[in-house]
Structures are given as C-alpha cells and as structure tokens.
Structure 1
C-alpha cells in the first residue's frame, strides 16, 4: 500500500512577492472513525464492538482529564500525549504570569514502532 500525494503550490510567507513553489502534499485515502475502529478491534479479539466503543469512550475521557491536570499520558506502544504552551518572551522571571500564555496545544509523540513505520512508506502520485 502506498501513501498517495498530490502537488500543491505555496507562497513563501517570508517573501510574498517571490514566485510560488510546488510541493508534495498527502492526498488522504479515506478515513476511519471511532466506531469503525471499534468494529475492527472486535473482529480481532473476543470483545464485542459495543464493549470496544465503551472502552474507547472511557479512554478518551480519561486522556482529557489527565491532560487537564497537566500530566503526560503514556499509552505504551502508541505514544505519549501532553499539553504544550506558547508565550511571549520577557526580560524577567517575575513578568511571566498566566496571562503570558498565548496558546496551548496537545502534542502527540509516537512510540518507537509507530515512528518506525515512516521508514517503510512508499509514495504514489495521484492524477
């Protein structure tokens, strides 16, 4: 199976008058939703799809709860989730307050096997 890609053009954000350049961008080959994953899991073990959905729902709720507490959520062979912040820079430590936080985001750091899949990918251009 190959990752399909298409060609797109982009402007240089640092030089808006420069000519656009061409780049490869992933062209998704569909998607799989939460319920479909539960069905796939249930077909590969003795747990029903309803039970899988229940477990995945509780997993989602617990990941959200733990991230809100500022914890890193380690999901073993999948990887880790954690909250990251961005803020302005200040001259002194005292100037850095909660108001300095401009944005929060969730980072996902894949585990070793998931990162390793990137080494075995093949690519095919879509027409």
Structure 2
C-alpha cells in the first residue's frame, strides 16, 4: 500500500506579497462507497453482499440518529465520531443564540490502532526520483 503525494505551490493567505512555498498533498485515487465495502466484506466472510449492504445502510441510519441525539459514536478500532459546531463569538452570554453557529462539523478522533497505522503508511511523491 502506498499513498501518492504531489507537490503544490501555495501563497500565504496572510501575506500575499510573500513568494509561493511548496507543499505536498495526498492524491485522491478514487472513492469507496457502501456498495464497494459490502462487496469487500462479503468476499472476506460467509455473509452475502446484499446482507452486508443492508447492515451498512442500517449502520449509517443509526449513526446519524445517535449523533443527532448528541451522543459520541464509539466504533472501537475505528475511533469516535461526534457532532461539533463552529460559531461566532458574542460579547455577553445573553447575546448568544443559534445565529452564532457558522457551521456544523463531524469531529473524528481515530483510535490508537488507526494512529499507529497512519504512522507506518508508505508515501511517494508523484514524479519524484527514488534514491
């Protein structure tokens, strides 16, 4: 397994007069949807693909329901998901209302197993020469 990277130039948005700097960015190589996951799981078990898909769809439905009730969804080795908000500040607590909310986000905290795996992934820069 190898994650491809590419080099991209970026200006500093805080100071556009500064010269561009170069950064690496992970390259998307495709998507994996619920149907693909169901197919992969069915090939690794005795459960049929439609049954896997039904379970995954039920999982998504129930995860959204639990998140909507303010619960942290704990998924063992995968990690935890929780709803969060980004908001504008107000001068006093009395001025705070729902219009302070800028956007709603889904916070993800990976498990220690996922964090360890991320540290051991192989990376290569597209077009770069290997020593």
Using the size of structure 1 for normalisation, the TM-score is: 0.92
Measure how far apart 1:126 and its partner are.
Answer: 1.2
Tell me, in whole angstroms, the C-alpha distance in 1 between the residues paired with 2:126 and 2:100: 45
- Count residues with an aligned counterpart: 127
Q: Please, which runs of 5 or more residues in structure 2 have no aligned partner?
A: none
Tell me, in whole angstroms, the C-alpha distance in 1 between the residues paired with 2:66 and 2:88: 26
Show the counterpart of 2:121: 121
Measure how far apart 1:91 and its partner are.
Answer: 2.3
Show the counterpart of 2:53: 53
Measure how far apart 1:33 and its partner are.
Answer: 2.2
Q: What's the secondary structure of 2:89's corresponding residue?
A: coil
Tell me, in whole angstroms, the C-alpha distance in 1 between the residues paired with 2:95 and 2:32: 46
Q: Please, which runs of 5 or more residues in structure 1 have no aligned partner?
A: none
Show the counterpart of 2:102: 102
Using the size of structure 2 for normalisation, the TM-score is: 0.89
Q: What's the secondary structure of 1:86's corresponding residue?
A: strand
Q: What's the CA shift string for 1:4-38, capped at 9, x where partnerless? A: 11111111010112111111111123332221111
- Aligned-pair Cα RMSD in Å: 1.3
Tell me, in whole angstroms, the C-alpha distance in 1 between the residues paired with 2:28 and 2:99: 39
Show the counterpart of 1:19: 19
Tell me, in whole angstroms, the C-alpha distance in 1 between the residues paired with 2:95 and 2:29: 48
Tell me, in whole angstroms, the C-alpha distance in 1 between the residues paired with 2:102 and 2:119: 35
